[in-house]
C-alpha cells in the first residue's frame, strides 16, 4: 500500500471531488454544480503550450477550483492527483472524445479513452477503494445496432475506434465494481450540447457558423452526413445525473437521454430559422467530412434514470438549438464591438486547412 498524503486544509464535513478533464465541456459544468453544492473541487488538466481554461473562466469558477496536472497515459500523474485531492468522489470525464479523430488516431484513442479508465480504477483500488467512481460511458456503445430506442439492456454494436475504447471503459468499470466491490457507475450519456461544446462537434459547428453567416463573417458551411440522427440534450442538466448516480446506496449503470431523435438536417433548419436565413443557400455537403463508418440513429430511453434517480431532461431540441445559436451570435457581436473575453472560436483553424487521412484517400 502506498503512503497516503493529504491535500490542503478542508473541513471534515466538506465533500471532495476529483474531476478528470475539468477543462472540457462536462468537466466545467460539473465543477460548477459541485461547487454550488458545497464541494471542494479538484480537477486534472493536461500541460499544453497554451493554457486552455476558457470554460472555467466563462463560468466564473476558475479561481474556485483546484487544478492538478495529470495525463491519462501517465499512471504516476493519476496516482499523484488522487493522493493530493483525497477525493470522496471521482468523476472520470477525460478522454479523446471526438469520434472523427478516433479514426485518425485509433491507437492513441485506445490508450487514452480505453486504458485510461483502468489506470484510474487501479489507482483507486490501491490507494482507497472507498472512492466512488463515475465513468463517462456513451451512447456510441450502441453504434449500428438496430433497436428503435436504446436502454440499459440494449446490446452494444460499436462503430468507431472511440466507441470500442468506450466499450472497454464500460466493461472494466463493471469488472471493478463486481470483482473488487468498488462503487463504480457507468453513465451512458447520449449526446449533450451547450455553448461550451467543442467547435468540432456538429451542433456547435453549426451554431457558430450560423452566427458568423448571419453577421457576414462566413460565406458557407461544409458538413458531412446530414441524415445522421442523434438524441441531443442540454449538458448542464446531464452533469447533474452524474452527481445523482454517486449519491445512491448502490452503484449501477444508467442511460441519460431525452428520448427524442433528430437529424443533422433538422438541426440545420432550426438553427438557420433563428437568423431568418434559408440553410440551403449556405450549406455544402463535403464527402471529406463523412466518417469511414457512421452511427445512423440514436434515441435513448431514460426511464430507469427517471425512476431511480429522479432525473429528467427539461431542455428539448428546439430550445437547445436556440440557446446555442443565440449565445454564439451574442459572442460574435460582442467581439465585433471590440470586447474581449474567454472564448474558443477565434483560436480554431478553418477546416480546409486541416489535412487528414481522408484527405489523402481522396486524392
Query: Could you list the residues that contact ligand NDP (CB under 6 A)?
Result: 21, 23-27, 46, 48, 52, 71-73, 93-97, 112, 136, 138, 189, 191-192, 198
Q: Which residue has the cell 463535403?
A: 286
How far, in Å, CA of 41 to CA of 190, rounded?
25
**Is 129 in a helix, a strand, or coil?**
coil
Q: Is 362 exposed, middle or buried (0-12, 13-18, 19+ CB in 10 A)?
A: exposed
Nearest distance, CB of residue 115 and ligand NDP, angstroms: 11
Q: Please tell me which residue in 89, 140, 193, 237 is annotated as part of the active site.
A: 140
Cell of 91: 468523476
Active site includes 140?
Answer: yes
**Is 44 in a helix, a strand, or coil?**
strand
Active site includes 162?
Answer: yes
The item of ligand NDP, ligand GDR, none sharing an interface with residue 289, based on CB under 5 to 8 Å by kind, is ligand GDR
DSSP string, 233-255: EEHHHHHHHHHHHHTSSS--EEE
Q: Report the residue closest to ligand NDP, judged by CB.
A: 24
> How many residues are present in the chain?
363
Cell of 272: 438557420
Cell of 65: 477550483
How far, in Å, CA of 288 to CA of 100, rounded?
11
Using CB under 6 A, list all residues that contact ligand GDR: 97, 99-100, 138-140, 190-191, 200-203, 205, 223-225, 228, 230, 264, 289, 291, 294-295
Nearest distance, CB of residue 230 and ligand NDP, angstroms: 9
DSSP state of 190: P
**Is 74 in a helix, a strand, or coil?**
coil
Give the nearer residue to ligand NDP in terms of CB position, either 223 or 298.
Answer: 298
Give the nearer residue to ligand GDR in terms of CB position, either 10 or 218.
Answer: 218
How far, in Å, CA of 141 to CA of 41, rounded?
29
How far, in Å, CA of 231 to CA of 234, rounded?
10
Give the nearer residue to ligand NDP in terms of CB position, either 112 or 245.
Answer: 112
The item of ligand NDP, ligand GDR, none sharing an interface with residue 135, based on CB under 5 to 8 Å by kind, is none
Q: Please tell me which residue in 138, 149, 194, 241 is annotated as part of the active site.
A: 138
Q: Please tell me which residue in 45, 91, 162, 234 is annotated as part of the active site.
A: 162
* Run of H or E including 334: helix 317-336
Nearest distance, CB of residue 74 and ligand NDP, angstroms: 8
Active site includes 356?
Answer: no
The item of ligand NDP, ligand GDR, none sharing an interface with residue 223, based on CB under 5 to 8 Å by kind, is ligand GDR
Nearest distance, CB of residue 100 and ligand GDR, angstroms: 6
Give the nearer residue to ligand NDP in terms of CB position, either 46 or 222.
Answer: 46
Instruction: Choose among 290, 289, 288, 314: nearest CA to 302.
Output: 314
The item of ligand GDR, ligand NDP, none sharing an interface with residue 27, based on CB under 5 to 8 Å by kind, is ligand NDP
The item of ligand NDP, ligand GDR, none sharing an interface with residue 198, based on CB under 5 to 8 Å by kind, is ligand NDP
Nearest distance, CB of residue 97 and ligand GDR, angstroms: 4
Give the nearer residue to ligand GDR in terms of CB position, either 32 or 262.
Answer: 262
How far, in Å, CA of 222 to CA of 209, rounded?
10
Nearest distance, CB of residue 99 and ligand GDR, angstroms: 4
Nearest distance, CB of residue 157 and ligand NDP, angstroms: 16
The item of ligand GDR, ligand NDP, none sharing an interface with residue 202, based on CB under 5 to 8 Å by kind, is ligand GDR
Q: Which residues contact 212 (CB under 8 A, 6 or more apart)?
A: 218, 332
**Is 65 in a helix, a strand, or coil?**
coil
Give the nearer residue to ligand NDP in terms of CB position, either 69 or 181.
Answer: 69
Give the nearer residue to ligand NDP in terms of CB position, either 191 or 208.
Answer: 191
| Rg of the chain taking only CA atoms, in angstroms | 20
Instruction: At 254, give phi and psi (nearest 5°).
Output: -140, 135
Q: Which residues are catalytic?
A: 138, 140, 162
Amino acid at each position: 500500500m502506498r503512503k497516503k498524503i493529504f491535500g490542503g486544509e478542508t473541513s471534515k464535513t466538506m465533500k471532495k471531488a476529483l474531476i478528470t478533464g475539468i477543462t472540457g465541456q462536462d468537466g466545467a459544468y460539473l465543477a460548477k454544480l459541485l461547487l454550488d453544492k458545497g464541494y471542494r473541487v479538484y480537477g486534472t488538466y493536461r500541460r499544453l503550450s497554451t493554457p486552455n481554461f476558457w470554460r472555467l473562466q466563462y463560468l466564473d469558477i476558475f479561481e474556485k477550483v483546484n487544478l492538478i496536472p495529470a495525463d491519462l497515459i501517465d499512471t504516476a500523474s493519476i496516482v499523484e492527483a488522487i493522493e493530493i485531492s483525497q477525493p470522496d468522489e471521482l468523476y472520470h470525464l477525460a478522454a479523446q472524445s471526438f469520434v472523427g479523430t478516433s479514426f485518425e488516431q485509433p491507437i492513441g484513442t485506445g490508450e487514452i479513452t480505453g486504458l485510461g479508465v483502468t489506470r484510474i480504477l487501479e489507482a483507486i483500488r490501491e490507494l482507497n477503494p472507498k472512492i466512488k467512481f463515475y465513468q463517462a460511458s456513451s451512447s456510441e456503445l450502441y453504434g449500428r445496432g438496430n433497436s428503435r430506442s436504446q436502454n440499459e439492456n440494449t446490446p452494444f454494436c460499436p462503430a468507431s475506434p472511440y466507441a470500442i475504447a468506450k466499450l472497454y471503459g464500460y466493461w472494466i468499470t463493471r469488472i471493478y465494481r463486481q470483482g473488487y466491490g468498488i462503487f463504480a457507475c457507468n453513465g451512458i450519456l447520449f449526446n449533450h450540447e451547450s455553448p461550451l461544446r467543442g467547435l468540432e462537434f456538429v451542433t456547435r459547428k453549426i451554431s457558430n457558423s450560423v452566427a458568423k453567416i448571419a453577421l457576414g463573417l462566413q460565406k458557407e458551411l461544409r458538413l458531412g452526413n446530414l441524415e445522421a440522427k442523434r438524441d441531443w440534450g442540454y449538458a448542464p442538466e446531464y452533469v447533474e445525473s452524474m452527481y445523482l448516480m454517486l449519491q445512491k446506496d448502490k452503484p449501477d449503470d444508467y442511460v441519460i437521454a431525452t428520448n427524442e431523435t433528430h437529424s443533422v438536417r433538422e438541426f440545420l433548419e432550426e438553427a438557420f430559422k433563428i437568423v431568418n436565413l434559408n440553410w440551403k443557400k449556405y450549406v455544402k455537403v463535403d464527402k471529406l467530412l463523412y466518417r469511414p463508418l457512421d452511427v445512423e440513429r440514436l434515441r435513448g430511453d431514460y426511464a430507469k434514470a427517471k425512476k431511480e434517480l429522479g432525473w429528467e431532461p427539461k431542455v428539448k431540441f428546439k430550445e437547445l438549438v436556440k440557446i446555442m445559436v443565440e449565445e454564439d451570435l451574442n459572442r460574435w457581436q460582442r467581439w465585433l464591438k471590440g470586447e474581449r473575453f474567454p472564448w474558443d472560436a477565434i483560436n480554431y483553424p478553418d477546416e480546409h486547412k486541416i489535412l487528414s487521412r481522408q484527405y489523402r484517400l481522396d486524392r
